[in-house]
Amino acid sequence: MFNKRLGIDLGTANSLVYLAGEGVVLNEPTVVAVAQDDNHIVAVGTEAKEMLGRTPGNIVATRPLRDGVIADYLITEALLRYFIQKVCGKSWFFKPEVMICVPAGVTQVERRAVIDATMAAGARIAYLIEEPLAAAIGAKIPIAQASGNMIVDIGGGSTEVAVISLGGIVVNKSTRIAGNKIDEAIAHYMKKKYNLIIGERSAEDVKIGIGTAVNIAKESKMEVRGRDAASGLPRMIEITSKEINEAIMPVLVQIVGVVKEVLEATPPELGADIIDKGIVMAGGTSLLRNMDTLMTKLTGVPCHIAADPLLCVVKGTGVALENIELYKRSISGK
């Protein structure tokens, strides 16, 4: 078959590509390095992420998506073209069908921007699916049934909370508080408590290394390198998981607050279904240690993490593309 079909999860932190019939074939950071003098794209994906915070003055490594939506149209188009060509080759005769997932709260203008960027990047047809639906399909939740299911997708740039029934979203709320804000909270804590300035990559490493949503008896420690805010010289300190929990707790409470708001707005019948089945969590930030425990503790509703939370959205996008007739109510396109 010459006409390939791609499902793309354009995340704020990482982008994944699903090739129909094969599965997930690409997983790279959503970063583009651009030469400022002539707007030439120097590197994309993994290669560009290595440059974050390390580029010479004339090259800027940026994330073209902020908080889950397009912040820079031309760079997003270049990123999509890179992904499409990497998976499909450069043939302009056999353009692929592409389905992209977008946050549930995006405006018509933002939807249009994603479709236009996808078509300009070399797609034959572009479809959009809302992220909570894609995450639910990827988590193997039977979304078509007349029964309430709750999905909480905590990514890098946005958190999507939705109650799904009969193949559609009944109640949803998006917030721009997610993994990035946790990284920012860690960097802010380091500067405030230790006068140490660290970059976003170092903050993310700390989160992955010793971050926890609920303090555990056995404390873990980690060395962090950065720049002393007073002297400007490099310095290294040792921090504990308890300190990181203290740093990130306000952000986590805000995320759980959004989940509570959606639960409060859910019709009683669907609410009863959710208490029976529990909340399903997806997205990279759901892998933060004990995040499910914190969610259960603060909402009073059982909570579990989907299998493969990092791949839920892209797998769901791919499955929807492979079964387009089945999911056509959940899809918009051009």
Q: Judge whether 62 and 91 are in contact, CB under 8 Å.
A: no
> In the predicted model, what is the mean pLDDT of residues 64-91?
82
Task: Please provide the distance, in angstroms rounded to a whole number, between the alpha carbons at the two ends of the chain.
Answer: 22
Q: CB–CB of 259/281 below 8 Å?
A: no
pLDDT of residue 4 exceeding 80: yes
Question: Was 258 annotated as part of a binding site?
Answer: no
Is 207 marked within a binding site? yes
Burial 202-239 (b: 16+ CB within 10 A, else e): bbbbbbeebbbbeeeeeeeebebebeeeeeeeebebeb
What's the pTM? Answer: 0.88
Cα–Cα distance, 195 to 19 (Å, whole number)? 47
Q: Which of the two residues, 57 and 219, has the higher pLDDT score?
A: 219
Question: Quick check: 92 pLDDT over 70?
Answer: no
The encoded tokens of residue 159 equal 């958190």
pLDDT digits (tens, 9 = 90+) for 161-218: 999 999 889 999 988 899 999 999 999 999 999 999 999 889 999 999 999 999 888 8
Average pLDDT over residues 284-300: 95
Annotation-wise, does 158 bind a ligand? Answer: yes
The answer to whether 131 is a known ligand-binding residue is no
HSE-CB of 148 using CA atoms within 13 angstroms? 22
Ordered by where they begin, the domains of the chain are 5-133+313-333 (3.30.420.40), 141-306 (3.30.420.40)
**Sign of the CA dihedral running 82, 34, 27, 118:** negative
> pLDDT averaged over the chain?
90
Residue 14 in marked binding region: yes
Tell me 96's DSSP state: P
pLDDT at res. 68: 63
Q: Is 240 annotated as a binding residue?
A: no
Is the C-alpha dihedral spanning 142, 146, 147, 151 positive or negative? positive
How high is the pLDDT of residue 63? 79
Q: Binding residue per annotation — 206?
A: yes
In angstroms, the CA 117 to CA 258 distance is 30
Q: Is 41 helix (H, G, I), strand (E, B) or coil?
A: strand
Is 35 annotated as belonging to a binding site?
A: no
Per cent of the chain over pLDDT 70 is: 98
